[in-house]
Structure 1
């Protein structure tokens, strides 16, 4: 929903990487101040990200988030005390299918998130250092993923070859249709999660938890996993550097994360005037 006649926003759900965070994964003072201004104005704020819960703690503290937050694209919703409001694991048969497709690809690093750990077989993959910096903790090296199959929160295919990831996304979607989600959270990352693990469902769950009508919610993001919440929100805002297909699905477009586009969106479109 867009236009001057839209109802006031009571709850904003925001993506993290590529949205709130700068390219070096830090938060600008302007963004921190914008989120603080939201809270002072009585507008609820929370996070929805492809990250695991463990990799959200620093940002939750810095932004003063005191609501449940959505990790793994909404597959896990964590209460402030660390307990789970929602948790959906990837079906075993889907995990087997995804690993069979992704593992043989020569330019793809396959990461598995389960039991609170980041699991991989090759610690020397070129994208590992960047991911370790973003998450704030090191991976656990394993020979096989078999023992984790019943408890997988997310599988990630990481590659600098974005065209290959787009092809793999299309192939995987045909194989897991109706059983799981497959979307690129960032150009280099293809996420595979449970069918219920999408940011749209996370927005619905959190809005119901808060007692806020969806028409009074807003969603802010930049990746291929964000239009799911755009479709549910009363107001949807895409970041300026998002792919054209993502921006087409949003009501409004703000600046890029390099120029504090998230703070700009909060100041211009969300905060009560």
Structure 2
């Protein structure tokens, strides 16, 4: 059994509660990792600007993955490696989202753009990433700098259908996957949470088998597949749970902290 040298965690639905709270149990769990000499970092569909508030409380010094891992930034949020959605693909993805009638957001490295300030999930995202959107009339001037495009809707079934159509529409030119039941993310091609795990292994000179991952959604499956052990949150869907090596409690019941405790236990046996 390979000893774990690094834990990579998703953020929303995993590290944070549904109210976007970083609990003391989660902080204490990461402190235990540091004390055991195990590295810790985060990867999320969140934009870079929505990751910064977690760096200091969790004493993160390693690179962090934003936009589902297609952007890698240092602990000061300065880009180390960044990829963009091809402009023509960005335009095609907007057309699909318009066809399905969902709210549309476009993120660059440092800005969040929307045409609808009264969108259903705008208040939720403002609270989550601790930033306000820039209101624009047209996305076109920003298509060349798109790190992520999001379709937001409370109609989970509609968004699931949209996901399938989007994947067909963008093909290999982008990655389209839901990060929440209400968010469909379109991100640069060839980069996901799995490639982030591989990048971290290269940077640290360790095997991917020495990496543990924790997540709750379809976009976490890519990193589950690349890591030695993986934990699905109790609030994950059954299909996500089936793809993980372990299942922990929900994010409302200290599931993240329990997963970390299990990692430490497994390391003692290795």
TM-score interval (norm. to shorter) = over 0.9
Equivalent residue of 2:172, what SS?
A: coil
Measured after TM superposition, the shift of residue 115 of structure 1 is: 4.5
How many Å separate the matches in 2 of 1:270 and 1:180? 36
- Does 1:62 pair with 2:57? yes
The farther-off stretch of 262-271 and 12-21 is 262-271
Identify the residue that residue 3 of structure 1 maps to in structure 2.
Answer: none
Structure 1 residue corresponding to 2:259, chosen from 246, 259, 265: 265
Structure 2 residue corresponding to 1:53, chosen from 48, 64, 68: 48
Measured after TM superposition, the shift of residue 270 of structure 1 is: 3.7
Any conservation in 2 of the 1:237–1:251 contact (CA below 8 Å)?
yes
Any conservation in 2 of the 1:88–1:196 contact (CA below 8 Å)?
no
Any conservation in 1 of the 2:74–2:80 contact (CA below 8 Å)?
yes
Per-residue CA deviations over 1:239-268 (Å, capped at 9, x if unaligned) read 011011111111110000000101001002
- TM-score normalized with structure 1 length: 0.95
How many Å separate the matches in 2 of 1:111 and 1:258? 28
- Does 1:139 pair with 2:133? yes
Which runs of 5 or more structure 2 residues have no equivalent in the other structure?
none
- Does 1:215 pair with 2:209? yes
What is the aligned length?
267
How many Å separate the matches in 2 of 1:238 and 1:29? 21
Measured after TM superposition, the shift of residue 126 of structure 1 is: 1.5
Structure 2 residue corresponding to 1:95, chosen from 75, 90, 94: 90
Measured after TM superposition, the shift of residue 93 of structure 1 is: 1.3
Structure 2 residue corresponding to 1:157, chosen from 151, 154, 163: 151
- TM-score normalized with structure 2 length: 0.96
CA RMSD of aligned residues (A): 1.0
